[in-house]
Structure 1
Amino acid sequence: MTPDQNETVRKIKEKASSLGLLACDWLPVTYLNTEKDYFDAWINNGMNGEMEYMSRNTDKRLDPRLLFEGAKTILIVLQNYYPDKVQEDKNAPVLSKYAYGTDYHFVLKDKLRQLHTFIREEIEPCTGRPFVDSAPVLERAWANRAGLGWIGKNSNLISLEHGSFFFIGELIIDIELPYPELKPVHDHCGKCTKCIDACPTKAIVAERVVDARKCISYQTIELRGELDEQLSGQFENRVFGCDICQDVCPWNLKSQPHNETNFQPHPKLLQLSKNDWETMDKPLFNELFRNSAVKRTGFNGLQRNLKFLGNG
């Protein structure tokens, strides 16, 4: 790259860092040809469960140029959510760490908009669109291609520097940028199978293949009906989401607490006792989770999950 191009790369990465992002890299938008067979097999085997949206717009998932007219560049960012404190009562129903604070969709999408504004005003005029689980984008595939990590045996993206407790977001723009030198990250899982061994419902049916129907996160968040009785007693007290396969991953020994104020939990949340959870009423739910991702399952969904844990 020329000195001017190097300066452009430096400016964008510096802006991303100033927004509190762990990492930011970008590459040309193209067709995800190597991911097609894996994704098709996953869908054809019904491993998406009731997430029918996963089987729609397959062409767009594999080619973001169909999502955004004129798409030329995709920027991929990582946002840390690893907390400095966890729930105090070891017997209380367990909430996934990512749901402690404000819904990440809002937080990360706002940062991507700010990054877009910076590029448009300081680098080159452009049109762009941010994505945070809000459209058919295969985020982990793009992050892997950008050299931000490898796909672990639990199917999560794992970073050499940061582990896996982070969100992934994308910004697609209609201009070409000077592309940073991307260094592919090789698989560093080795012979380790801690995530596979630790999954209480055996949802990781093969290396890098998760059957969502058995996954605690799917059951407690995505599923709209009754939970699978065949999994009763296997949730290890998880009430919304699940971090087990990440908690046991040796690479997460590198995880450092985030400094994102929006992800700080409600003052009462981490202090809830087992009884507090089991007797929670709707006003308390609304107070604790007003802007949280837990709103996705809602008060009734949380009550369903709590009842399932009690029955187990």
Structure 2
Amino acid sequence: MTTSPIDYQALAENIKRWGLALGFSQVGFSDIDLSSHEDALTQWLENNYHGEMDYMHKHGLMRARAQELVEGTTRVISVRMDYLPPEAKFARTLKKKDHAYISRYALGRDYHKLMRKRLKQLGDKISEYCESFNFRPFVDSAPILERPLAEKAGLGWVGKHSLLINKSAGSWFFLGELLVDIPLPTSEKTANECGSCVSCIKICPTQAIVAPYVVDARRCISYLTIELRDAIPEEFRPLIGNRIYGCDDCQLICPWNKFANISHEGDFSPRQNLDNVELLTVFSWDEATFLSKTAGSPIRRIGFNSWQRNISVAIGNAPYSAENIDALNDKLTTAEPMVAEHIHWALHQQDNKRIAAEQHSDFPIKNQRLTERLIRSVEKGLPRDA
């Protein structure tokens, strides 16, 4: 700790260096003035675009007023951490309709604890150089507009899908903040370079991006599969496809993600083979297995019932198979009422596909199944009578 006058410009450069050493991909600094975002936030809430996320409405404009969240705050240190691993399997998993698609960010260890721990380490390091210094670390854990703050801190710009985009790193990264009470120099805000591109708006399966930079959470697959605890509205179920936890479509289509950086953080690598797992495999888990397989993962927080609900919808959207019917009927005997509703829907979807297959087939569906089994056996190099 020093008692001499602090050179805050030099301290800011040191903070960036310390942040990189802790594994953050970029560090920036902003003031706390988000008054220009208050009208848009108010309108978003009045439109009920937050859905059943009552905490969004509860805190209201505090999200744009960091000083009300932590008294004495004058600056925000924003950080980003890349999470894209080598050999990501996005497109392949989406195309395999009998496989489960889980949003890329959730395949590894829960980033909240990892980043918060390192933000605290960064704050403790700063404390060694300041006679008086107070800080609070946050990672998706506070009512604060983190993306506009990160934008002001020069980490990127808020895209039309409402996520932060970095010109040289795309959008596959997490954000975190340190709210501090020292007058650090602020970073230069990044220019918005979305231009006339509307790819993210067009690609959204449920048309949740109702206007550039405005997302109606009630239509968003991430909200429907993660935040929503009740039944998923029927109009959205066919559109969810095989996405059982979150959705990455708006990022997958974004042209800036060709510049995305590969993460070398081992904790963000896929666990439990969840980047290449069949729907029936995860559907077969009982609650104890679910809790065991998702230990340390952000997936666990949705709970077993939502997990089964989401997979039921995905199986309903999958190609018809007798195995799907058997699995759905088996789960129906023990399912909670909310889950059972989705299983019944999935059974109806599968039955419609069975009927359609029979009507458009030149031979009975039983023979079709035998043929499919034969093809699978040959592909696996097994004897034909196995």
Q: What is the TM-score of this pair, normalised by structure 1?
A: 0.93
3-state SS of the aligned residue for 1:122?
Answer: coil
Unaligned runs of 5+ in 1: none
What is the identity, as a one-letter code, of the residue corresponding to 1:25?
G
8 Å CA contact retained: 1:119, 1:125: no
Residue number in structure 1 paired with 2:107: 100
Residue number in structure 2 paired with 1:311: 316
Q: Does 1:263 find its partner at 2:289?
A: no
8 Å CA contact retained: 1:200, 1:236: no
Q: CA deviation at 1:205?
A: 0.7
* Superimposed CA distance per residue, residues 175-219 of structure 1 (whole angstroms, 9 cap, x where no aligned partner): 222x15x22222211111111111010001111111000000000
* Superimposed CA distance per residue, residues 85-122 of structure 1 (whole angstroms, 9 cap, x where no aligned partner): 34575331100000011111111111110110010013
Q: Does 1:61 find its partner at 2:66?
A: no
Greater RCO (Cα-Cα under 8 Å, separation 6 or more): 1
3-state SS of the aligned residue for 2:275?
Answer: helix
Residue number in structure 1 paired with 2:29: 26
8 Å CA contact retained: 2:100, 2:277: no
| Structure possessing the higher radius of gyration over alpha carbons | 2
3-state SS of the aligned residue for 1:233?
Answer: helix
1:112 to 116, 119, 124: 119
8 Å CA contact retained: 2:240, 2:314: yes
Q: Does 1:160 find its partner at 2:167?
A: yes
Residue number in structure 2 paired with 1:49: 51
3-state SS of the aligned residue for 2:314?
Answer: helix
Q: CA deviation at 1:148?
A: 1.4
Q: Does 1:202 find its partner at 2:207?
A: yes
Residue number in structure 1 paired with 2:324: none
Residue number in structure 1 paired with 2:239: 234
Aligned pairs (5 A) from 1:143-182:
143-177=150-184, 179-180=185-186, 182=187
Residue number in structure 1 paired with 2:283: 278
Unaligned runs of 5+ in 2: 318-386
What is the identity, as a one-letter code, of the residue corresponding to 2:157?
W
Say if 1:84 and 1:281 are closer, same or farther in 2 by CA, change over 3 A: farther
3-state SS of the aligned residue for 1:167?
Answer: strand
* Superimposed CA distance per residue, residues 197-244 of structure 1 (whole angstroms, 9 cap, x where no aligned partner): 110100011111110000000000000101111112101311001100
Q: CA deviation at 1:124?
A: 4.6
In structure 1, distance between residues paired with 2:249 and 2:131: 43
8 Å CA contact retained: 2:162, 2:214: yes
Say if 1:283 and 1:268 are closer, same or farther in 2 by CA, change over 3 A: farther
3-state SS of the aligned residue for 1:55?
Answer: helix
**Number of residues paired by the alignment?**
308
Say if 1:173 and 1:6 are closer, same or farther in 2 by CA, change over 3 A: closer
In structure 2, distance between residues paired with 1:163 and 1:124: 38
Residue number in structure 2 paired with 1:127: 134
Q: Does 1:299 find its partner at 2:304?
A: yes
In structure 1, distance between residues paired with 2:230 and 2:279: 24
2:10 to 7, 11, 15: 7
3-state SS of the aligned residue for 1:230?
Answer: coil
In structure 2, distance between residues paired with 1:106 and 1:131: 10
Q: CA deviation at 1:141?
A: 0.9
In structure 1, distance between residues paired with 2:66 and 2:128: 24
In structure 2, distance between residues paired with 1:86 and 1:124: 45
Q: Does 1:243 find its partner at 2:251?
A: no
2:79 to 64, 77, 80: 77
* Superimposed CA distance per residue, residues 31-73 of structure 1 (whole angstroms, 9 cap, x where no aligned partner): x111011111111011110011111122321111011121122
In structure 1, distance between residues paired with 2:163 and 2:270: 24
* Superimposed CA distance per residue, residues 130-182 of structure 1 (whole angstroms, 9 cap, x where no aligned partner): 111111010011011112111111111111111111111110112222x15x2
Structural RMSD (CA): 1.8
Say if 1:176 and 1:184 are closer, same or farther in 2 by CA, change over 3 A: closer
Q: CA deviation at 1:288?
A: 2.3
Runs of 4+ aligned structure 1 residues displaced above 6 Å come to none
Relative to total residues, which structure has the larger helix share, 1 or 2?
Answer: 2
8 Å CA contact retained: 1:127, 1:174: yes
3-state SS of the aligned residue for 2:239?
Answer: coil
8 Å CA contact retained: 1:8, 1:123: no
8 Å CA contact retained: 1:28, 1:72: yes
In structure 1, distance between residues paired with 2:144 and 2:137: 11
8 Å CA contact retained: 1:201, 1:231: yes
